[in-house]
Amino acid sequence: MAQPITDFFVHSRHKLRVSEVQATLDVLTFTGEEKLSEPFKY
């Protein structure tokens, strides 16, 4: 049986979990906008 690869050095502190995916996924970059201080819009 194959043994899983262990991470000896992780480049990213962020991980992504996807259901039914066994691979370890690293988040290399992401973008977003801060919306907490803006008025609510319907």
The pLDDT of residue 15 is 73
Q: What average pLDDT does range 34-42 have in this prediction?
A: 83
The pLDDT of residue 20 is 92
Looking at per-residue pLDDT, the higher value among 7 and 41 belongs to: 41
Structure confidence by residue, pLDDT tens digits, 2-34: 666 665 666 666 777 889 988 878 777 888 888
Q: Is the pTM here over 0.95, yes or no?
A: no
CA distances from 23 to 1, 9, 15, 34, 42 (A): 16, 16, 11, 30, 39
Which backbone phi and psi does 25 adopt, to 5 degrees? -110, 130
